[in-house]
Amino acid sequence: MAIENFIDYVKINCKSGKGGAGSSSFRREKFIPKGGPDGGDGGRGGHVILRGNAQLWTLLHLKYRKHVIAQDGGKGQGALCSGKDGKDAILEVPLGTVVKDFETGRTETEINEDGQEYILVDGGKGGRGNNHFKSSTHQSPTYAQPGIPGKEEWKVLELKLLADVGLVGFPNAGKSTLISAVSNARPEIADYPFTTLVPNLGIVSYKAGRSFVMADIPGIIEGASEGKGLGLRFLRHIERNSLLLFMVPIDSDDIVRDYKILLSELGKYSPELLTKDRILAISKCDLADDELLKMTEKDIKKKFKKGESLPVIFISGVAGLGIDKLKDAIMKMLDKKVVN
pLDDT tens digits for range 190-212? 454 444 456 677 888 898 888 88
**Considering 110, 134, 159, which residue would you say is the last residue of a domain?**
159
Residues 66 and 179 in one domain: no
Residues 206 and 319 in one domain: yes
pLDDT at 219: 59
* CA–CA separation, 43 and 84 (whole Å): 5
* CA–CA separation, 273 and 259 (whole Å): 14
- φ/ψ of residue 199, rounded to 5: -65, 145
- Angle, vertex CA 43, rays to CA 39 and CA 48, nearest 5: 165
- The domain that contains 113 carries what CATH number? 2.70.210.12
Residues 216 and 150 in one domain: no
pLDDT at 338: 58
pLDDT at 198: 63
* CA–CA separation, 199 and 187 (whole Å): 9
Handedness of CA 117, 120, 122, 123 (dihedral sign): negative
pLDDT at 82: 94
Residue type for 222, please?
Answer: E
Residues 193 and 312 in one domain: yes
> Bridge partners of 202?
214
* Residue ranges of the chain with per-residue pLDDT less than 70: 1-6, 184-199, 219-234, 306-308, 337-340
233-279, pLDDT tens digit by residue?
A: 567 777 778 899 999 999 888 999 999 988 888 888 888 888 889 99
The pTM assigned to this predicted structure is: 0.66
301-320, pLDDT tens digit by residue?
A: 888 876 567 889 999 988 88
**Considering 114, 130, 159, which residue would you say is the last residue of a domain?**
159
Number of domains within the chain: 2
Residues 178 and 326 in one domain: yes
Residues 193 and 71 in one domain: no
Contact 14, 48 (CB under 8 A): yes
Residues 197 and 271 in one domain: yes
pLDDT at 193: 46
Residues 119 and 260 in one domain: no
Residue 63 lies in domain: 1-159
**Considering 159, 178, 209, which residue would you say is the last residue of a domain?**
159
pLDDT at 172: 79
Residues 152 and 196 in one domain: no
Residues 34 and 129 in one domain: yes
- The domain that contains 216 carries what CATH number? 3.40.50.300
Residues 230 and 135 in one domain: no
Residues 184 and 286 in one domain: yes
